[in-house]
């Protein structure tokens, strides 16, 4: 409740709404498309973070890699406002925010071979079995991630929930993606990642690549 009150207080400030407005993308035009070429100042490889939370990871990464574009996707109305204020204040031409369900974006709106990397850190686990249907990862979603990745593109994923990790990795291992031994960039640097690193909680993280089979 205190967090909600704080978020509402931040949002009431005109300068916060101005900052958010400078990065928030409103999907328009054709209902089921989002044109990365139209929302960024220049064309560049696109990295997408699904469930970006408050943006700790993507703001730092967009600052570190000015030659790539970054789209932060967040479903929650309140969290996406805070995310947009933060991203807007960072004032980076290569960082934009969209409030929507990541499943809709990946399954329906992104063009084939348009994303160079996906970052999915600590997706909601929906622990009750009857709620598993709300989980982000399904074989269909994995197929959509694969279809929208460019050749050689990366998927980085981390979760603190052992059972969900097993399920996600099994789906990915059964897909056309190939496990990679490279580090997972957001594993320790998202809001949740930092919290888990500080408390010593086990985190299950993997990288996958879309390789070209010739």
Q: In sequence order, what are the residues at sequence separation of 6 or more whose Cβ sits closer than 8 angstroms to the Cβ of residue 33?
A: 27, 109, 111
Nearer to ligand SAM (CB atom), residue 104 or residue 180? 104
Q: How far apart are CA 121 and CA 112, in angstroms?
A: 23
Nearer to ligand SAM (CB atom), residue 51 or residue 88? 51
Q: How many helices (H) and strands (E) does the chain have?
A: 9, 8
**Which two structure tokens, joined as six digits, stand for 160?**
């603190």
DSSP, collapsed to helix, strand or coil, labels residue 33 as coil
CB 53 to ligand SAM: min, Å? 3
CB 42 to ligand SAM: min, Å? 26
Nearer to ligand SAM (CB atom), residue 148 or residue 190? 190
* Contacts with ligand SAM, residue ranges (CB under 6 A): 50-53, 73-76, 79, 101-103, 121-124, 136, 190-193
Catalytic residue among 35, 56, 67, 124: 124
CB 75 to ligand SAM: min, Å? 4
CB 208 to ligand SAM: min, Å? 18
Nearer to ligand SAM (CB atom), residue 137 or residue 208? 137
Q: How far apart are CA 174 and CA 64, in angstroms?
A: 33
124 is catalytic: yes
Pairing of strands 204-209, 178-180: antiparallel
Cα separations in angstroms, 91 against 23, 108, 136, 144, 205: 8, 29, 30, 31, 30
Q: In sequence order, what are the residues at sequence separation of 6 or more whose Cβ sits closer than 8 angstroms to the Cβ of residue 170?
A: none
Q: What are the catalytic residues?
A: 124
């Amino acid at each position: 409740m205190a967090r909600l009150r704080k978020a509402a207080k931040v949002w009431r400030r005109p300068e916060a709404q101005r900052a958010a407005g400078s990065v928030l993308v409103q999907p328009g035009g054709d209902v089921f498309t989002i044109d990365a070429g139209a929302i960024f100042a220049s064309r560049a490889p696109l990295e997408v973070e699904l469930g970006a939370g408050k943006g700790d990871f993507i703001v730092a990464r967009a600052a570190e890699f000015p030659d790539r574009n970054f789209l932060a996707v967040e479903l929650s109305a309140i969290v996406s406002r805070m995310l947009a204020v933060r991203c807007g204040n960072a004032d980076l031409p290569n960082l934009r925010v969209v409030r929507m369900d990541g499943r809709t974006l990946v399954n329906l709106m992104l063009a084939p071979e348009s994303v160079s990397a996906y970052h999915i850190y600590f997706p909601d686990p929906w622990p009750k079995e009857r709620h598993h249907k709300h989980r982000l990862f399904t074989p269909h979603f994995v197929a959509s991630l694969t279809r929208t990745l460019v050749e050689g593109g990366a998927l980085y994923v981390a979760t603190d929930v052992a059972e969900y990790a097993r399920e996600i990795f099994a789906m990915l291992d059964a897909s056309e993606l190939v496990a990679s031994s490279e580090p997972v960039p957001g594993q320790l640097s998202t809001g949740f990642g930092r919290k888990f690193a500080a408390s010593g909680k086990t985190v299950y993280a993997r990288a996958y690549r879309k390789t070209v089979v010739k």
